[in-house]
Amino acid sequence: MPEMYVVCQLAASPAEYGRKFHFAIKLIDQDATQEIVKLASNATVPTKTGVRQQHLNFLFKLNHVRFPAPGVYEFTILIDNDPKRSIPIFVNQIEEPEPPPST
């Protein structure tokens, strides 16, 4: 089964502790015209005293994602629908080797 994982870590300062937010990751095509996958979740920044920065980890498993063609795609990270970072993903097409001739 074809699968891939998206791992994301967010950092929050003490001023953001207890804040609720909407977190989303979109996978878009090379022309930015088609959304291939969108993963979303609501979250709250944990409150922890004595810590200068809190880290939130997100792990998403993607199964059977189909890319329409080889090219450069992009994961975009959004917080409350505001794009924060984009990460390219390069998709190549691999030709299956031809079977050896039968004798």
Question: Residue 1 — pLDDT band, cuts 50, 70, 90?
Answer: low
Give Cα 62 to chain centroid, integer Å: 9
Beta partners for residue 77, in sequence order? 25, 85
What is the pLDDT at residue 49?
78
Give residue-wise pLDDT tens across range 3-39: 899 999 999 999 999 999 999 999 999 888 889 999 9
Domain that holds residue 10: 3-91
Q: What is the domain-level CATH number for residue 17?
A: 2.60.40
The answer to whether position 56 is within a domain reads: yes
In a domain, 96, yes or no: no
The reply to whether 101 falls in a domain is no
pLDDT range class, residue 84, cuts 50, 70, 90? very high
Residue 8 belongs to some domain of the structure: yes
Residue 66 belongs to some domain of the structure = yes
Helices first, then strands: H and E counts in the chain: 0, 6
- Judge whether 77 lies within some domain: yes
Domain count, the chain: 1
Residue 97 lies in a domain: no
Q: Tell me the pLDDT tens digit for each residue of 56-83.
A: 999 989 999 988 899 999 999 999 999 9
Ramachandran angles phi, psi of 8, nearest 5°: -140, 140
Is residue 100 a part of any domain in this protein? no
